[in-house]
Amino acid sequence: MGCAVTAISSGEGKREDAFALGSDEFRDSKKISHAFTEGAAEGREDAQPANINVLLITSNAVPKLETVLPLLARRATIVLMTIQMEPLEVPYMQFVLPGHRLIASTEASRENHIKMPEFAERKQIKPWTEVFEITAGGVAKAFERLEKGEMRCRGVLARSQA
């Protein structure tokens, strides 16, 4: 779509996946000042990264914003695409002085729902899934992986092909 993409994850375990999905840069939220590019074994120190204009938060919980705010360009937009029960904590001065905006967007418009399959077909986008049997054991295994934070992509329950 013409944007440079920086993937941020809570560990380096998803770095290769991020590049396989087309990310230009990867950052580990525990070492946010280090930027990795595809094929680079070591991250480079980036003292003043502030270049992200739109931050889409798609994780299962909003990260500590003071961790990611240094990555944002002035007047950046943070889009929350997640639902969590805990209150959202915003470091006021770090957020207000650069003029950032915060938007909650948990669902797409009807028009976007119609266009998404067309876009996916045109760009040959396929979902990454982890399949579990639709049995009590399969459901238990899926929930166990989910609760441990080990689910790397979309979990799907399916009938056994046997």
**What domains appear along the chain, each with residue ranges and CATH number?**
1-48 (no CATH), 50-126 (3.40.50.720), 127-162 (no CATH)
Q: Where is pLDDT greater, at 50 or 116?
A: 116
Q: Are 142 and 157 in contact (CB under 8 A)?
A: yes
| Separation CA 152–CA 18 (nearest Å) | 11
| Of 108, 109, 54, 57, residue with least CA distance to 82 | 57
Kindly indicate the confidence band of residue 133, based on its pLDDT and cuts at 50, 70 and 90: very high
Q: Where is pLDDT greater, at 40 or 54?
A: 54
% of the chain surpassing 90 pLDDT: 33
31-40, 55-64, 95-104, 116-125 — which one is most confidently predicted on average? 95-104
Burial of 18 (0-12, 13-18, 19+ CB in 10 A): buried
Q: Are 151 and 126 in contact (CB under 8 A)?
A: no
Region 23-32 average pLDDT = 86
Q: What is the pLDDT of residue 148?
A: 85
Adjacent-strand bridge partners of 56: 79
| Separation CA 72–CA 78 (nearest Å) | 9
Q: What is the pLDDT of residue 49?
A: 65
Strand 34-35 relative to strand 44-45: parallel, antiparallel, unpaired?
antiparallel
Tell me if residue 161 falls in helix, strand or coil. coil
Q: What is the pLDDT of residue 142?
A: 95
* Average pLDDT of every residue of the chain: 86
CA 91 to chain centre: 21
